[in-house]
């Protein structure tokens, strides 16, 4: 018998600390190799950690809500013999609900035998075990799909957060056909069946708070966002350019795509056309897709397209890798997956890194326009306001048209006004005439 200590691993590039959000085991529990033992919150995402040991939990070294540095022990496990103490194969930790691994794990703590790196992954131990005590009783409520039989109907498969959203929006889950695996009802399935015009607005007005003030610790995504915005705003000289656009043909194009069998089951919105317009404009104005350093300007010949996402945990900017190579259908699927994963707080750390240019879709909040701050390390960020019916002059006559405002902020150290103007004009041209995408 020997006691092993599991140190907090580095589940993302450059991670220095993380907060323990929940434990799924307790002292005295028997754990198997790769069984999920806890969930942590980094500055970028929620991540589940599987156990690199098989044995009995001796001690939880960190309390829920506590922030610990990478490499500090969080759990002790008593294992039987050297074979039981062998860690999983060298595969990195993966965020919850993500199929791909995230990043390298940490080195072992002092208690680990020399030569045995404490690695976290899904190696030879099989699939990740469920979040239950050894006796089968759930330790904590987890966001796993739950099945509730409905009289004279098929069972409803939906996670607890999705059930709450449906209740808040007044949506009957029994009447929804889920588009997830095995018919699971997803967030977008609920939103599509909601009667509210603005599902992104506050669903209800809370009662006045009893306390005179609330102090919220600056940590996690909010902390990293604050640091990044200050750095970007005061180091990169921003210049903003915007223009009004007749997006009537874009809306008609979106309508046709929604009725196309090729796009069946895929969410299609004006954001898709805006993203494709961005990729087209980048190809024509490659200077926009660059990074600035003190010694050189790096022009990227690929596009990792960031999509700013407002989540319950704060603003994050995951990106779609090599978006320039995607067809319109593949881009639609990538945006949908990115959005759903971000809303659920399950964005893999790798998806938050190495972006080259970003989109901010403030139109979903009913805003006409705003001046976004650059994502640090990038030269351009584009925003699109709400699309709504307005009077517009066409061939000398005032007609009702679907109008929006597009534009963005740019790093004036890298791009000059003429390049910025051409880029914004190109994006606007595609929104006015999506047929340009056939070029």
CA 317 → CA 203, 210, 238, 338, 356, distances in Å? 24, 34, 19, 10, 11
Long-range contact set of residues 61-64: C-beta below 8 Å, sequence gap at least 24: 61/5, 62/20, 63/20, 64/20, 64/21, 64/22, 64/23
Task: Give the side-chain half-sphere CA count within 13 A for 408.
Answer: 31
5 vs 375: CA distance, rounded Å: 38
Residue 224: strand, helix, or coil:
helix
Residue 78 φ/ψ region, left for φ over 0, alpha for ψ in the -120 to 50 degree band, beta for the rest: beta
CA 86 → CA 110, 114, 123, 185, distances in Å? 15, 12, 11, 39
Name the residues annotated as catalytic. 412
Residue 269: strand, helix, or coil:
coil
Under 8 Å between Cβ of 319 and 350: no
DSSP 337-384: HHHHHHHTT---GGGGSS--EEEE-GGGGT-S---PPPPTT-SEEEEE
In this structure, the number of other CB atoms found within 10 A of the CB of residue 41 comes to 20
Interstrand relation of 67-69 and 146-148 (parallel, antiparallel or unpaired): unpaired
Under 8 Å between Cβ of 156 and 164: no
């Amino acid at each position: 018998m020997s006691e092993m200590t599991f140190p907090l691993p580095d589940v993302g590039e450059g991670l220095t600390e993380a907060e323990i959000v929940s434990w799924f085991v307790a002292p005295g529990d028997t754990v198997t190799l790769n069984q999920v033992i806890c969930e942590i919150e980094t500055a970028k995402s929620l991540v589940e950690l599987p156990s690199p040991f098989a044995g009995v939990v001796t001690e939880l070294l960190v309390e829920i809500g506590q922030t610990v540095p990478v490499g500090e022990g969080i759990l002790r496990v008593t294992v039987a013999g050297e074979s039981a103490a062998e860690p999983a194969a060298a595969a990195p930790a993966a965020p919850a609900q993500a199929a791909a691994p995230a990043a390298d794990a940490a080195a072992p703590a002092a208690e680990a035998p020399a030569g045995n790196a404490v690695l976290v992954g899904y190696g030879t131990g099989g699939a990740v075990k469920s979040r239950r005590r050894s006796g089968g009783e759930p330790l904590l409520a987890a966001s796993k799909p739950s099945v509730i039989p409905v009289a004279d109907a098929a069972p409803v498969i939906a996670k607890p957060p999705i059930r709450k959203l449906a209740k808040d929006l007044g949506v009957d889950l029994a009447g929804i056909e889920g588009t997830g695996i095995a018919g699971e009802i997803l967030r977008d399935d609920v939103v599509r069946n909601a009667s509210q015009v603005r599902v992104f607005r506050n669903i209800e007005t809370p009662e006045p708070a009893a306390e005179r003030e609330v102090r919220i610790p600056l940590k996690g995504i909010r902390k990293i966002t604050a640091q990044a915005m200050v750095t970007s705003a005061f180091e990169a000289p921003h210049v903003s350019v915007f223009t009004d656009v007749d997006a009537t043909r874009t809306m008609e194009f979106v309508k046709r795509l929604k009725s196309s069998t090729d796009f069946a089951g895929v969410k299609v919105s004006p954001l898709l056309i805006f993203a494709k317009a961005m990729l087209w404009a980048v190809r024509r104005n490659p200077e926009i897709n660059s990074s600035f350093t003190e010694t050189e300007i790096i022009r990227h010949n690929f596009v990792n397209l960031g999509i700013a996402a407002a989540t319950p945990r704060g603003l994050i900017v995951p990106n779609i890798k090599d978006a320039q190579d995607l067809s319109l259908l593949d881009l639609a699927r990538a945006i949908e997956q990115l959005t759903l994963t971000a809303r659920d707080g399950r964005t893999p750390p790798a998806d938050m890194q190495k972006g080259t240019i970003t989109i901010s879709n403030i139109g979903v909040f009913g805003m006409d326009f705003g001046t976004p701050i650059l994502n640090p390390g990038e030269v351009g960020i584009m925003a699109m306001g709400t699309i709504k019916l307005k009077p517009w002059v066409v061939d000398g006559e005032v007609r009702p048209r679907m109008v929006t405002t597009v534009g963005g902020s740019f790093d004036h150290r890298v791009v000059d006004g003429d390049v910025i103007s051409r880029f914004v004009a190109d994006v606007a041209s595609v929104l006015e005439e999506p047929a340009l995408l056939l070029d």
